[in-house]
């Protein structure tokens, strides 16, 4: 396990940021930061190093270019090998062991009915996904954090591991990054393909990319020799779709693992039940009540 000595914190969602940074500082981690994140940390009394001071290059183009630099991506992508260490030393690149980044709020911005094209474009993050992908690719050495809900678990591992995070956790966090960046790029594509030639916005996008999370591995598929799983909309943590309940997130209380046909029957029973106002029970066989 690699001890974390240097970290980049650059976040739009600042939930838990200060406590996380304090935990890193407690382990002697040098914190590199940018913009509003650096201001928030400095106001909390946490010492940071500006990215521009670390790279020796100023932020330019209204902040569009600040982390796209060899000292950042070399520090993230360098492996713990003799060859990479020699190249990094020759180019005065220091390793960066942790990156905590969450992206410009593109989805929330384009969800506003009156959003302008210019505002939407400015919320397309470039440096954030680049750092996340570099760190996630090199997760054999780098811990990458895209979700503030993971801060506490990371600090707990560092406390237990002398400032290091386990291989399994780094792999899990890297996987989470690629799920997030795929969804982010999908949202950008959906917005851009919804724009008409006259500048208006269609109700439905020209390209729709969706993500589903595996909820259950099913006993078998439509036929006994087939495999199957039950997935739910990854963007919807609650087991509802509009005003209609769904099976996503339902708890299996007893019995054998569910099959594909069990899911069909359950959905049919639920669809029949919700047509009544009072408490109702439905028994189904092959989706027929």
Q: Looking at the annotation, which residues are catalytic? A: 137, 286
CA separation, residue 152 to residues 1, 106, 161, 221 (Å):
19, 26, 14, 39
Give the H/E segment covering residue 187: helix 167-192
Tokens standing for residue 131: 């750092």
- As a whole number of angstroms, the distance between CA 67 and CA 131 comes to 8
Beta strands in the chain (DSSP E): 6-11, 30-33, 49-50, 98-102, 143-145, 212-217, 229-233, 240-241, 244-245
Tokens standing for residue 198: 């006259």
């Amino acid at each position: 396990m690699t001890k974390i000595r240097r970290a980049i914190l650059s976040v739009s969602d600042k939930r838990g940021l200060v406590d996380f940074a304090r935990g890193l500082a407690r382990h002697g981690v040098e914190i590199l930061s940018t913009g509003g994140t650096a201001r928030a940390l400095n106001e909390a009394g946490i010492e940071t190093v500006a990215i521009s001071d670390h790279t020796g290059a100023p932020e330019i183009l209204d902040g569009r270019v600040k982390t796209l630099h060899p000292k950042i991506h070399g520090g993230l992508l360098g492996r713990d090998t003799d060859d990479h260490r020699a190249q990094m030393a020759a180019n005065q690149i220091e390793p960066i062991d942790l990156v905590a980044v969450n992206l410009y709020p593109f989805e929330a911005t384009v969800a506003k009915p009156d959003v302008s094209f210019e505002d939407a474009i400015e919320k397309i993050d470039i440096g954030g996904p680049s750092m996340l992908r570099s760190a996630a690719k090199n997760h054999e050495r780098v811990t990458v954090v895209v979700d503030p809900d993971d801060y506490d678990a990371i600090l707990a591992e560092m406390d237990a591991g002398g400032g290091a995070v386990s291989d399994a956790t780094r792999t899990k966090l890297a996987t989470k990054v690629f799920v997030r960046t795929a969804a982010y790029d999908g949202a950008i594509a959906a917005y851009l393909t919804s724009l008409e030639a006259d500048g208006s916005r269609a109700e439905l996008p020209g390209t729709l990319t969706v993500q589903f999370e595996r909820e259950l591995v099913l006993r078998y598929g439509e036929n006994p020799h087939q495999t199957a799983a039950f997935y739910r909309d990854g963007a919807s943590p609650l087991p509802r779709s509009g005003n209609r309940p769904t099976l996503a997130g339902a708890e299996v209380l007893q019995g054998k693992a569910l099959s594909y046909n069990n899911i069909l029957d359950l959905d049919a029973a639920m669809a029949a039940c919700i047509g009544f106002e009072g408490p109702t029970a439905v028994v189904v066989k092959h989706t027929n009540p």
